Structure 1
Amino acid sequence: MIPDKMAAVHLTGYGGLECLHYRTDVPVPQPGPGEVLVRVTAAGMNNTDINTRTGWYNAGVGDGTTEAGGQAGFGVDEGGMGDWAGDIRFPRIQGADCVGCIAAVGQGVDPARIGERVVCAPYLYDPEDPEWLENAGFLGSEYDGAFAQFTRLPARNAVTVADDLPFTDAQLATLPCSGGTAMNMMLMAGLKAGDVVLVTGASGGVGTFLIQIAKHYGAEVAAVCSASKADEVRAIGADHVIGRAAADHASAALAATGGRKFTLIADVVGGERFAEYLSLLKRGGRYVTAGAIAGPNVTLDLRTLYLKNLSFFGSTAYLQETFPRLMEILHAGGLKPAVAAARPLSEIAAAQEAFLQKHHVGSMVLIPPQQALAQEDRT
């Protein structure tokens, strides 16, 4: 039975943790034509959630995604989504990473899908629309997402997974945003067997998937992370580990590869190391980014770009083959999603505080209540 009300977290504006409001009186959404209603069993948590809350995408913000900024926000009142969408409408239920089971279907969707275990692709677009990239929306940004007991989305976004797939729902909840971002980065940059790949931010949700995807396709991987996480990052699959605190990343990276430069750099950090990383690319090398943890404003010598015949890629909205390819690798045994911690949805503020401290390896996950709310809880 589907209740009338549900638990959910409302984001009420751009700002600090005080903008997150856990409620138990939110109306359960109804699936429209071509849509399904998903009972959420696990929801991953990402930098994207925090960046959206704080308004970090606003072009006026020059800081990295710091712990202080993540807790208090960046003083943004409007334009918090920057070049992505300008603004979102509040209140908004965030959460791009949705795993659960289909509880109801809208008109035109086969009722036999009810009960299916699903992982949900986070980008919503019409595959028949030639402007699909321009018109893509994001679960938890333009559309209410998974920080709730129920969410609705197009049926094509709810990808069925076998009940006997040897992963928990919490593990699967790391896939849509973290895994999908990594897969999209590698597809855009043309990852291939034999590539020598440098991964920054390697201990995070995206970074751990970048390592695994690169290894699955036969690349050699050097990973940048803090020394305390080096063993875990090697266990994920990195061939070489470069300490984040090293004064000279370039020398350390070349020492690790025996002097060989990189054919591909997958960067989610940015900041002051940007030029140093570009110096490590071979002629004809590729650089792809989907984040700027250390800061969005970098120094680029255009001569480096054109004299070395480099290719740059920016990755946000997924290519249409991204999520299917990610799921193929999962089913082939090429991925072992890393869950650092799982907390109840009601503890979202504490979970984001822990996330911002960056002591973990992999992803953090939120678990909504799995029972219908008692009537007294709804008032």
Structure 2
Amino acid sequence: MKAAYIVGHGGNEVVKVGQRPLPERHAGHVRVRLHAATINRVDLYMRDSGAGITHQLPQIMGLDGAGTVDEVDPDEPLLKPGQAVLLHPGIGCGRCAFCQRGEGVLCVRMSLLGEHRDGTFAQFVSVPAGNVFPMPAGLSFTEAAALGVNHLTAWRMLFTKAQLKPWETVLVFGIGGGVSLAALQLARLSGSRVIVTSRDDSKLERARALGADHAINGRTQDVAKSVMAATGGRGVDVVFENVGAAVWSSAMKSLVRGGRLVTCGATTGDQPPADLRRIFIRQLQILGSTLGNFDEFRDLLDFVERTGLKPVIDSEYTLDQVHAALDRIESGAQFGKVALRID
């Protein structure tokens, strides 16, 4: 089968497109014929170094994907050949205490597609049946693939971790990236007020068109002061953050007393000032999160079908154009998901 895979670490020179063995399907697994996948920041990380992530080379890239069931156990009750599906990228051990209580996302032996094992930048992938979900009606394969990482991550952050309520206000940093756009869409459709930041005025305008209530240019405006002005001096209930050190001080200062900051990334550094006095005096909560469990994914897919949510797609490339797709993500110029069509 055709696939995009890494043979080393460095730049695009280590990313090859060519033939890889067709994945063998074991009992209890489903082999999926992939039609689309999307690029995530971790794909760049795996290309660049993959440091700290156990993996073997060569390895097929890609975390999320959507396609059709190619082969499945004959007694599988929920899936059938030809059915349109999308994937949850985290494969738990099923035996640790976290898996046993339904929190597979905390599994001590979690194996992620495209990180610890072959991923979705390929014509086929084989995964446990529990990781395969029927595709919501009304979505293209590209749109469905985009849900598996960014929207699932944003769902857990907003609704499981931060417990965002419809009457609350959330500040979303770095609008334009996939997980931040997912947060804007989910929060708005759930009834919450959303303030967004970016250093690019054109991205702020597009975010307003998607329903952002207020937009702040982090390059030309003081974010915390602008938040206070937009909230009548109160601050926001929730900060949604995946940038890290560069925005941490502004994020903390933007929270109302008792507010919650939820984070899933540190692209500008992972050692921000703790600001402990502010945390305990104002009784703030700092919440870490990543990905989501199967129940959260089902809830997200139900929400997508009910509301008609469609992920924002920045651009689409063929599998042969994977280098250009990676360059697009690396540039930071994208607004929404950068996708690969796998034909």
Verify same fold: TM over 0.5.
Answer: yes
What whole-Å deviation, never above 9, does each CA across 1:294-330 have from its counterpart, x for those lacking one? 2222111211221121111111242342211210111
1:117 aligns with 2:84: yes
1:211 aligns with 2:184: yes
**Aligned position for 2:102:** none
What whole-Å deviation, never above 9, does each CA across 1:121-157 have from its counterpart, x for those lacking one? 1111255642332222211112211100101111111
| Aligned partner of 1:300 among 257, 274, 284 | 274
1:37 aligns with 2:31: yes
Residues 278 and 235 of structure 1, relative CA distance in 2, 3 Å threshold: same
| Aligned partner of 2:145 among 141, 164, 173 | 173
Q: Which runs of 5+ in 2 are unaligned?
A: 100-105
- Sequence identity percentage: 31
**Aligned position for 1:377:** none
**Aligned position for 1:21:** 16
1:7 aligns with 2:2: yes
1:151 aligns with 2:122: no
Report the Cα distance in structure 2 between the residues aligned to 1:278 and 1:55, rounded to whole angstroms: 31
**Aligned position for 1:200:** 173
**Aligned position for 1:87:** 54
Residues 190 and 334 of structure 1, relative CA distance in 2, 3 Å threshold: farther
Other structure's SS at 2:55 match? coil
Counterpart amino acid of residue 72 in structure 2: V
Counterpart amino acid of residue 157 in structure 2: M
| Aligned partner of 2:255 among 260, 278, 281 | 281
Counterpart amino acid of residue 261 in structure 1: G
Give the drift of 1:244: 2.6
Give the drift of 1:108: 5.6
Give the drift of 1:110: 5.1
Contact kept? 2:87, 2:148, Cα under 8 Å? yes
**In terms of mean alpha carbon deviation, does 120-129 or 246-255 score higher?**
120-129
1:224 aligns with 2:191: no
What whole-Å deviation, never above 9, does each CA across 1:70-123 have from its counterpart, x for those lacking one? xxxxxxxxxx13xxxx42222111211110001012476359611110011111
Contact kept? 1:272, 1:299, Cα under 8 Å? no
TM superposition score normalised by structure 1: 0.84
Give the drift of 1:252: 1.7
Other structure's SS at 2:20 match? strand
Contact kept? 2:135, 2:144, Cα under 8 Å? no
**In terms of mean alpha carbon deviation, does 37-46 or 318-327 score higher?**
318-327
- Aligned alpha-carbon RMSD (Å): 1.8
Report the Cα distance in structure 2 between the residues aligned to 1:87 and 1:129, rounded to whole angstroms: 19
Counterpart amino acid of residue 47 in structure 2: R
TM superposition score normalised by structure 2: 0.92
Counterpart amino acid of residue 69 in structure 2: I
1:52 aligns with 2:41: no
What whole-Å deviation, never above 9, does each CA across 1:33-90 have from its counterpart, x for those lacking one? 110000000001111211222237xxxxxxxxxxxxxxxxxxxxxxx13xxxx42222
Q: Which runs of 4+ in 1 moved over 3 A?
A: 106-112, 126-129
Other structure's SS at 2:262 match? strand
Counterpart amino acid of residue 38 in structure 1: V
Contact kept? 2:175, 2:203, Cα under 8 Å? no
